[in-house]
């Protein structure tokens, strides 16, 4: 971050941070008389988003804006906010999303080459909303902005848990608010078919539990996304992850005579389409031909991941086929399959996208490689992204953006796609961008927002903003504001926490549970749901771990305080630490007053040990020498707190321990 930006980033709560910004040292008051005009062709998108801008602005300020809708520039040449653009944008990777925004005392102007660029500018303007004690206003600024990457996506897995249309729509709105532009819709997996096929109604009849989108709903979502300047990429994951498809069509499977039923657990499963069966291609061609027109985007994701080929190895005919076609490995066989699918997709005007397993020596470079594996999956550091770009593939990055791993936003924010690697301009251009991936094995519609947000906003910045915009502290400060503003779009990441705690407590006082929640985080990196068999798709996801989120509020703050105190102890920091320790030391008393329930009992040990440990550390911190028994007690408390509790970890236990050892 340049020096000038650095200074401004402390006063503007913009996310993603724009390419160029100057402070005009002016402010534009938000009054009842505020109006918006639009000048440009094909105004549907801008009219829609500008109307929504007016509602959100009015809702957050309470200003009774007289004009409820934008008008044409002709009808209102003196509008407060003048939006103009030259062309209707196309939802492609070549679209121009740049814009200029200028806010002065007398008004605001947004200019762009395309309507979609104008949408991005409108969101920036809304983020300039500010106030003092007596007025709401837009902070003055002169901004010239454009994205670093053209592909800034969010994938939502609707197979493991189904997420209805309104959940998708509110997340599209949230995406647009941080300038994301690709919604990748993971529609078919082992746990269910979520898209209606009229050609093959058996798919949803037998493998959806009634939870799927009708084609009308798909069209509705795609149209909605388009209004927000968001492309929609469907994913039909084949040839693995095929249990649901094979539940309807077992004859297309690689295990002769097998029957299948919708998978209720999580993991990598054996059922796989038979790539040597002509009917497999007939089926897929028919299905793709039916589905493709619902998605105007030219990219189509065929998955291709995690096919372990067990049923291929066990099937004699498939082995013979491999020999006959000189396919040495299962990878070669899958590439044979992929190339056939690519031809089908090309006929339908689509480019094939697949997870990085599809990148084999024989796979044509017309495919787009979706990079998801790296060191964690046994690949070299940097993973497949750079490799793909060097080999001539267009490519997008999800490795490091797996938000279902429940890791800190800081990690995702620092997941720089290219880093210091030297690439030619051509190679660099092949790196289209990236996607946050919301795999939903452990995520229902009640909790999905708190798994996606606010972390995905930081990923949006990583993909939009320049590489040198990387100050973590500053990002965290801005993220706080952006996060709570998402509530105006109906995002439930904050409000549903209390819902879950009320349920846990049987509608008793939840304050002691909130205290616990604010220091606990769900188990990370798939250590919740070991082996994929602790939870079924219909297991309860209204537990304490579901109320907890990554970057637990008080844990984050406490960890920083302890770090700062250890580095240079001050009375101020100490006082702040004592506030936390006092709160925690008293918490078990409050918790214990609750009428017991089985769900609360599960938290008893966590609550008790936290209070005991905090009390003892508090003694130590206030200069009381600890007795041997107190020391022993503390060791015991800390060792309990270090264990997993009901699928959460205590996210500041190491700070507690450090403090307990500090002299």
What residues make contact with its own copies under the rule CB under 8 A? 48, 51, 54-55, 58-65, 68-69, 131-136, 164-166, 209-210, 214, 216, 220, 264, 446, 480-481, 484, 487-488, 490, 492, 494-496, 498-499, 502-504, 506-507, 535-543, 595-599, 601
Give the 3-state secondary structure of 389-457: HHHCCEEEECCCCEHHHCCCHHHHHCCCCCCCCCCCHHHHHHEEEEEEEECCCCCCCCCHHHHHCCHHH
- Of 436, 440, 437, 438, nearest in space to 458 by CA: 436
**Nearest to its own copies of 210, 378 (CB atom):** 210
Q: Which is nearer to its own copies, 61 or 272 (CB)?
A: 61
Q: Is 654 within 8 Å of 619 (Cβ atoms)?
A: no
Q: Which is nearer to its own copies, 269 or 393 (CB)?
A: 269
Query: At its nearest, how many Å lie between its own copies and the CB of residue 117?
Result: 23
Q: How far is the CB of 495 from its own copies (least distance, A)?
A: 4
Query: What residue has token string 């809304």?
Result: 126
Q: Taking the complex as a whole, how short is the minimal distance between the CB of residue 216 and its own copies, in angstroms?
A: 5
The minimum distance between CB 596 and its own copies, in angstroms, equals 4
Which candidate, 184, 659, 254, places its Cα nearest to that of 436?
A: 184
Tokens at 11, concatenated:
């006063």
Question: Least distance (Å) from its own copies to the CB of residue 601?
Answer: 7
**How far apart (Å, rounded) are the C-alpha atoms in residues 121 and 189?**
37
How far apart, in whole angstroms, are the C-alpha atoms of residue 106 and residue 573? 45
As measured in angstroms, the least distance from the Cβ of 543 to its own copies is 6
For strand 368-371 and strand 299-301, is the pairing parallel, antiparallel, or unpaired? unpaired
List all residues 6 or more positions away from 450 whose beta carbon is below 8 Å from its beta carbon. 492, 493, 494, 496, 497, 549
For residue 426, the tally of other CB atoms under 10 A from its CB is: 10
- Catalytic residue IDs: 306
Q: How far is the CB of 502 from its own copies (least distance, A)?
A: 6
Crossing angle (nearest 10°) for helices 571-592 and 553-567:
140
Q: What phi-psi label fits residue 326: left (phi over 0), alpha (psi between -120 and 50 degrees) or beta?
A: left
Nearer to its own copies, 299 or 535 (CB): 535
Tokens of 360: 């084999």
Burial of 499 (0-12, 13-18, 19+ CB in 10 A): middle
Query: What are 365's two structure tokens?
Result: 């470079």
Residue 651 CB, nearest distance to its own copies (Å)? 22
- Shortest approach of its own copies to residue 298 CB, angstroms? 27
Residue 599 in tokens: 């769900």
What stretches of 271-408 show up as alpha helix (H) in DSSP? 278-291, 310-313, 316-324, 330-347, 383-391
Decide whether 249 or 535 has the Cβ nearer to its own copies. Answer: 535
Residues in Cβ contact with 464 at an 8 Å cutoff, skipping those fewer than 6 apart: 16, 147, 148, 149, 152, 178, 179
| 379 vs 499, beta carbon nearer its own copies | 499
Nearer to its own copies (CB atom), residue 19 or residue 170: 170
> Rounded to an integer, what distance in angstroms lies between the CA atom of residue 46 and that of residue 38?
8
Biggest CA–CA distance in the chain, Å, is 82
Give the residue with the Cβ less far from its own copies, 262 or 352. 262
Contact 143, 18 (CB under 8 A): yes
Beta carbon of residue 281, minimum distance to its own copies (angstroms, whole number): 32
State the alpha helices, DSSP H only, in 107-184.
115-127, 165-177
By three-state DSSP, how is residue 48 classified? helix
């Amino acid at each position: 971050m340049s020096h000038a930006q650095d200074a401004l980033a402390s006063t503007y709560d913009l996310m993603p941070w724009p390419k160029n910004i100057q402070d005009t040292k002016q402010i534009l008051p938000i009054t009842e008389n505020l109006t918006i005009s639009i000048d440009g062709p094909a105004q549907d998108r801008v009219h829609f988003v500008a109307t929504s801008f007016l509602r959100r602005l009015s809702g957050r300020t309470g200003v009774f804006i007289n004009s409820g809708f934008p008008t044409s520039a002709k009808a209102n040449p003196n509008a407060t906010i003048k939006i103009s653009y030259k062309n209707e944008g196309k939802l492609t990777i070549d679209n121009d999303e740049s814009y200029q925004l200028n806010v002065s005392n007398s008004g605001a102007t947004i200019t762009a080459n395309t309507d979609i660029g104008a949408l991005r500018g409108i969101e920036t303007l809304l983020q300039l909303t500010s106030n003092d004690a007596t007025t709401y206003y837009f902070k003055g600024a002169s901004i010239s902005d454009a994205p670093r990457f053209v592909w800034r996506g969010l994938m939502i897995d609707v197979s493991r848990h189904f997420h209805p249309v309104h959940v998708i729509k509110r997340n599209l709105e949230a995406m647009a608010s941080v300038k994301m532009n690709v919604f990748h819709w993971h529609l078919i997996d082992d746990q269910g078919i979520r898209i209606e096929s009229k050609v093959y109604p058996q798919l949803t009849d037998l493998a959806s539990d009634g939870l799927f989108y009708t084609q009308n709903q798909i069209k509705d979502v795609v149209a909605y996304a388009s209004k927000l300047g968001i492309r929609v990429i469907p994913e039909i994951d084949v040839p693995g992850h095929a249990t649901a498809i094979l539940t309807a069509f077992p004859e297309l499977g690689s295990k002769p005579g097998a029957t299948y039923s919708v998978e209720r657990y999580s993991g990598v499963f054996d059922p796989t389409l038979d790539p040597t069966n002509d009917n497999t291609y007939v089926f897929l061609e028919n299905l793709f031909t039916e589905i493709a027109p619902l998605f105007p985007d030219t990219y189509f994701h065929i998955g291709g991941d995690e096919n372990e080929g067990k049923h291929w190895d066990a099937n004699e005919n498939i082995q013979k086929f491999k020999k006959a076609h000189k396919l040495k490995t299962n990878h070669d066989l899958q590439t044979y399959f992929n190339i056939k699918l690519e031809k089908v997709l090309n006929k339908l005007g689509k480019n094939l996208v697949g997870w990085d397993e599809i990148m084999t020596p024989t796979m044509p470079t017309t495919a787009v490689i979706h990079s998801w594996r790296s060191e964690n999956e046994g690949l070299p550091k940097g993973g497949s992204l750079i490799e793909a770009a060097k080999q001539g593939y267009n490519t997008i990055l999800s490795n490091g953006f797996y938000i279902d791993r429940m890791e800190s936003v800081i990690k995702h924010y620092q997941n720089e796609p290219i880093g210091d690697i030297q690439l030619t301009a051509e190679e660099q251009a092949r790196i289209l961008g990236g996607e946050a991936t919301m795999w939903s094995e452990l995520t229902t519609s009640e909790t999905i927002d708190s798994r996606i947000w606010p972390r995905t906003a930081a990923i949006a910045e990583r993909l939009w903003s320049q590489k040198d915009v990387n100050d973590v502290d500053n990002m965290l400060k801005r993220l706080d504001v952006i996060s709570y503003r998402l509530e105006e779009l109906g995002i439930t990441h904050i409000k549903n926490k209390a819902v879950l705690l009320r349920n846990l407590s049987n509608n008793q006082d939840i304050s002691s549970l909130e205290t616990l929640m604010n220091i606990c985080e769900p188990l990370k990196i798939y250590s919740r749901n070991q082996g994929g068999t602790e939870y079924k798709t219909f297991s309860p996801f209204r537990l304490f771990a579901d109320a907890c989120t990554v970057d637990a509020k008080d844990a984050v703050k406490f960890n920083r305080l302890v770090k700062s105190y250890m580095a240079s102890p001050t009375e101020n920091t100490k006082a702040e630490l004592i506030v936390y320790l006092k709160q925690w030391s008293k918490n078990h008393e409050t918790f214990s007053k609750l009428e017991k329930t089985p769900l609360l009992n599960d938290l008893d040990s966590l609550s008790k040990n936290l209070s005991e440990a905090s009390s003892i550390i508090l003694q130590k911190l206030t200069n009381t020498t600890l007795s041997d028994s107190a020391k022993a007690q503390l060791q015991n408390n800390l060792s309990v707190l270090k264990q997993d509790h009901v699928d959460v970890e205590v996210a500041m236990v190491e700070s507690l321990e450090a403090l307990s050892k500090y002299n």
